[in-house]
Amino acid sequence: MQTINVPSKSTVTSYLFTLTDTRNARGTDSEAYVFLNDEDQTVSVSTIEALEAYSVVPARWTRREQYVEALAG
């Protein structure tokens, strides 16, 4: 799980680079969630698509309640 306060191409690329290293060490069967701050700015479609392409759940902060059950289990 990761948070990104300013979801931009640069911050998402940095996260995906780190995630790739983590998955190489732990295996690819783990789930990845990234909480994106969408209260102060709009999260672009390309940001969402990039995360989904790497099998990351792009969780918007304003919809965080939708992910409680999945993360609690």
* Rounded CA separation 25/6 (Å): 27
**Residue 20, number of CB atoms within 10 A of its CB:** 12
pTM of the model: 0.87
* pLDDT of residue 59 exceeding 80: yes
Residues 6-37 have pLDDT tens digits of 999 999 999 999 999 888 888 777 789 999 99
Q: Would you list the domain boundaries of the chain?
A: 2-72
Residues 6+ apart with CB under 8 A from 63: none
- Helix (H) / strand (E) element for 69: namely helix 68-72
* Rounded CA separation 48/36 (Å): 10
Backbone angles phi, psi at 28, to 5 degrees: -95, 5
